[in-house]
Amino acid sequence: MIRSDPLIASPQRPFATLMARYENVRAQTEALCAPLEVEDLVVSSMPDVSPTKWHLAHTSWFFETFVLAGHDQSYRSPDPRYAFLFNSYYVQAGERHCRAMRGLVTRPTVREVFAYRAHVDAAMRRLIECIGDDAAHPAAGLIDLGLHHEQQHQELLLTDIKHVLWTNPLRPAYHAQPDGPAREVAPLAWRPFDGGVAWIGHDGGGFAYDNEGPRHRVFLEPYQLAARLTTNGEYLAFVEDDGYSRPELWLSSGLATVQANKWEAPLYWERDTEGRWTEFTLGGTRVLEGAALADPVTHVSYYEADAFARWAGHRLPSEFEWETAGRGVPVEGRFVDAGRFHPGPASGSAALQQLY
């Protein structure tokens, strides 16, 4: 996951720090491309996957279209046709290229896309210098939104390149990293929460997307939440208990999806030539044994998570239960600065963890 540390206007964080945050977020996107070869940047492995090159350009187009176009009269795009190629779903911004065909576009080249980013960055630096510490400037909130938008695309970039590399029969790693030593997984503990009226939604402090509000009340029955995430080892037991072929565990639409797509395990799980289950990660392919069994299971759909919970004798929490439980829990986890880009195992503590 990409950790967001918004440097927004406040007495503790003057808005002048916006420049530093802009530089950091933009540099982080390009740093994520460092392990890749130029050939990796242009591939789309399915309609829902965008090439890395497209992410690099689209995030620049966002600043060009929604910030510079309205707040820098001197700005000129290096190629106005980029607006058609690099718009995503912003209908009000104009016509868009077909998403499923993004991987068929070889021009502009990767070099030209990086030049486009540099062109936009130069103009954005000039604008941010003019804004200074004026938190009320009409462009200030748009820039903050653009930075959160780019951090979303950093997550998408890694998600997409993982599918691209997995589609390759050679299964190349994004960056090879060995697993740590095997560790014993603590028995699953449950944390109780009282029912009653709970406030849900953004409380008005700091950045939030529009779909995080308005703040409102909901009623909850008393419930318990598992203190940690489900592990690969626990999910493997579900797979080996024929979980994918037992209709009583699945929602009807979920079972239809399993059968139509011939699912037998989570995405990126495969059996090797010795019959062992393996998992493909950005660090490469690993056998699901030892340390790998303690890591949280990933790339399961809602249908799969629901079936597993039913198999285990539990249910999935609601959005409201999760948000209420997470209130006050420290924002901790294996974030982007850890450089592993894969969730790590829980600690031995029975305290609520792995929410972020």
Instruction: Report residue 184's pLDDT band, with 50, 70 and 90 as the boundaries.
Output: confident
Give the helix/strand (H/E) hosting 124: helix 110-131
pLDDT of 148 above 50: yes
Average pLDDT on 132-156 reads 94
Q: Which domains does the chain have, with CATH numbers?
A: 15-167 (1.20.120), 190-338 (3.90.1580.10)
Planar angle of CA 68, 73, 76, nearest 5 degrees:
65
Amino acid identity of residue 194, one-letter, is: D
Which residues face 352 on adjacent strands? none
| Residue that wins the pLDDT comparison between 41 and 178 | 41
Average pLDDT on 275-297 reads 97
Instruction: Evaluate whether 147 touches 22 at the Cβ level (below 8 Å).
Output: yes
Instruction: Report residue 230's pLDDT band, with 50, 70 and 90 as the boundaries.
Output: very high
pLDDT attached to residue 1: 37
Instruction: Report residue 165's pLDDT band, with 50, 70 and 90 as the boundaries.
Output: very high
Amino acid identity of residue 13, one-letter, is: R
Average pLDDT on 198-222 reads 93
Integer Cα distance of 81 and 49 in angstroms: 22
pLDDT attached to residue 10: 36
Q: Give the other-Cβ count within 10 Å of 38's Cβ.
A: 12
pLDDT attached to residue 304: 99
Over residues 7-47, the pLDDT tens digits come to 333 333 444 489 999 999 999 999 999 999 999 999 999 99
pLDDT attached to residue 146: 98
DSSP state of 206: S
Proportion of the chain above pLDDT 90, given as a percent: 84
Instruction: Evaluate whether 172 touches 165 at the Cβ level (below 8 Å).
Output: yes
pLDDT of 172 above 50: yes
Q: Is 231 helix (H, G, I), strand (E, B) or coil?
A: strand
Average pLDDT on 219-239 reads 98
DSSP state of 296: B
pLDDT attached to residue 193: 97
pLDDT of 267 above 70: yes
pLDDT attached to residue 2: 40
Could you tell me the end-to-end alpha-carbon distance of the chain, in angstroms, rounded to an integer?
Answer: 8
Average pLDDT on 121-140 reads 94
Q: Output phi, psi for 200, to 5 deg.
A: -125, 140
pLDDT attached to residue 5: 43
| Residue that wins the pLDDT comparison between 78 and 210 | 78
Integer Cα distance of 57 and 110 in angstroms: 9
Global confidence as pTM: 0.92
Which residues face 81 on adjacent strands? none
Instruction: Evaluate whether 95 touches 84 at the Cβ level (below 8 Å).
Output: yes
Average pLDDT, the chain: 93
Residue 318 tokens read as 């609601």
